[in-house]
Amino acid sequence: LQKIVNDEAESRIVYHYQFLAWPDHGVPPNPGTVVNFLEEINQLESGMTEKRPLIVHCSAGIGRTGTFIAIDLILCLIRKYGLQCTIDIRRTVQMLRSQRSGMVQTEAQYKFVYMSVHYYIDTFAKLLHEHKRIEDSGHEYTNIRYSAEVASNQVIPISPSPFGSSIRPCNHPQCEACSSTPVVYPPQLIPPPRPKKGPRNPRPENS
């Protein structure tokens, strides 16, 4: 979509994404579809030179909207701090409900937040493991080739630094790919917190 304001001689491009397979008061059949949908939107936003606000809305703007925003907040936290970061889905939902009553409207939607985060963590961990495996394979090949070149040229290689073990990626506290600590998956499902009492939404979602 492109909006042109004649008076200001300015045009703006509006990107409109619509997720059709998400029933009202319900959840999609597969959390991976929502995670991939969200990743596509975030990739588009990260490539923009000028940041613009994002608008998320469903029919009433609390059920599916709150679920989508809660998932996005948690995934952004994981992307920023890695798999070993502490996440609190319950508190995230409470924070959203403090700003708009009724966000994440049903128990099924609350569970779906956990399912989506679990899917993302599991996929992220597998990608990191595969990346490390490819890196290790490349290092092994490089070492073999380097040893052959040294032998053919009769060059004595320099001994490794005595401080080498302290700067290896595996000993770096923020290296998720080499960390030996097991991945911490989301905690057991807990009942969703009840929204605070307030004025009823003038446009409730239709049942």
Asked if residue 149 has pLDDT above 90, the reply is no
List residues with catalytic annotation.
58
Where are the domains positioned within the chain?
A: 2-122
Q: How far is CA 120 from the centre of its chain?
A: 7
CATH architecture of 2-122: Alpha-Beta Complex (3.90)
Q: Which of 42-46, 154-158, 200-204 has the highest mean pLDDT?
A: 42-46
Question: Which residues, at least 6 apart from 139, have a Cβ–Cβ distance to it below 8 Å?
Answer: none
More confident residue, 145 or 40: 40
For every residue of 133-144, DSSP letters joined together read: HHHHHHHHHHHH
Distances (CA, A) of 148 to 86, 136, 161: 46, 19, 22
pLDDT of residue 185: 37
pLDDT of residue 139: 61
- What's the chain's average pLDDT? 73
Which two structure tokens, joined as six digits, stand for 90?
Answer: 């319950």
Residue with tokens 């990191």: 128
Helix then strand count (H, E) for the chain reads: 4, 2
Tens of pLDDT, residue by residue over 157-180, are 323 333 233 223 333 333 333 333
Its pTM stands at: 0.63
